[in-house]
Amino acid sequence: MPAEDRLLLAIDTSTEVAGLALYDGATVSELTWNAGRNQTASLLTQIRHLLDINGRDLTEVGAVAVAIGPGTFNGLRVGMSVAKGLCYGLGLPLIGIGTLDTIAYPHVRSRHPIRAVVPAGRGRVVYADYRYRNGRWVRLSDLRNERMDQLADELVEKTIIAGELPAELAARLEESPLVIVPPPALRVRRPAYLAEVAHRRWLEGDTDPLETLEPVYVHGSASTAAAPEPRASTG
């Protein structure tokens, strides 16, 4: 069955807020929940629930997408393990998408650059900067691990800061003339965005090898880290 006629299952367990989406290229159904540190127990149950409420079956899934981080060790490990298990068991292709890429994705109509953020614990965040060029988001920096209160220190132009921002930090950032903080619905990760980005790659035949795809973890206090470049379809 061609990709256009099958479902893509998207899995995002990058942080304690987990999400799933089913996407057929036209209609998306998504589910998010606060999994805390209980990703292992909840993920397979939620996949079955998402399929059931949509009247679909796992045999209708033609590809699996998974968020590869940056994110928490336990969350990403569980998401990657489940995604690879489904792909190995059902003979499906796997598409890995950077977590920060999905945060930048919905802001395609903005003329401003994006600073996409995920929490790193202990008052720190991991972020990368993006600019929209030639129909796609281009990442301008390696991943950076900084204290939350330093998130806007190096900005030289008006920038959208999006991601899981605590309310107090969002309010403080809004005081800066160089920061645009979107409303919560636009700054958090949504599995639907992950599904849309991955579906484009699937149609183009751009998938990842099961044997070598690995997550990008958030850990320590290093200031920079390398991460895979976003593919051309992120926007």
Do the domains 100-187 and 3-99+190-222 match in fold?
A: yes
28 CB-near residues (< 8 Å, 6+ apart): 21, 22, 192, 195, 196
* Structure token pair of residue 58: 């796992």
The domain segmentation of the chain, as residue ranges, is 3-99+190-222, 100-187
In CATH, the number for domain 100-187 is 3.30.420.40
- pLDDT higher than threshold 90 for residue 215: yes
**Does the model's pTM come out above 0.85?**
yes
Task: Place 39 in a pLDDT band, splitting at 50, 70 and 90.
Answer: confident
Helix (H, G, I), strand (E, B) or coil at 159: strand
* Residue 189 exposed, middle or buried by CB count within 10 Å (0-12, 13-18, 19+): buried
Rounded Cα distance between 37 and 232, Å, is: 33
* Structure token pair of residue 214: 């690995």
Among residues 227, 223, 230, which one has the least CA distance to residue 153? 223
> Rg of the chain's alpha carbons, rounded to an integer?
17
- pLDDT higher than threshold 50 for residue 42: yes
Percent of the chain's residues with pLDDT above 90: 70
- For residues 30 and 41, the model is more confident at 30
Task: Place 233 in a pLDDT band, splitting at 50, 70 and 90.
Answer: very low
**pLDDT 10s digits, 44-98:** 999 999 999 999 999 999 999 999 999 999 999 999 999 999 999 999 999 999 9
Task: For residue 71, give the DSSP letter.
Answer: B
Q: Which residues pair with 208 in a beta bridge?
A: 94
Largest CA distance in the chain: 53
Rounded Cα distance between 20 and 191, Å, is: 5
- pLDDT higher than threshold 80 for residue 36: no
**pLDDT 10s digits, 107-158:** 887 889 999 999 988 889 999 999 998 888 899 988 999 999 999 998 999 9
* Structure token pair of residue 43: 């993920």
CB 181 within 8 A of CB 165: yes
Domain 3-99+190-222 coded CATH 3.10.129.10: no
Task: Place 224 in a pLDDT band, splitting at 50, 70 and 90.
Answer: very low
Phi and psi for 49 in degrees, rounded to 5?
-65, -45
Cα 202–Cα 194–Cα 80 angle in degrees, nearest 5: 85
Among residues 153, 150, 154, 108, which one has the least CA distance to residue 131? 108
29 CB-near residues (< 8 Å, 6+ apart): 21, 22, 23, 50, 53, 54
**Residue whose pair of structure tokens reads 């044997």 in the numeric block:** 211
Rounded Cα distance between 99 and 199, Å, is: 15
159 CB-near residues (< 8 Å, 6+ apart): 112, 113, 114, 115, 129, 152, 178, 179, 180
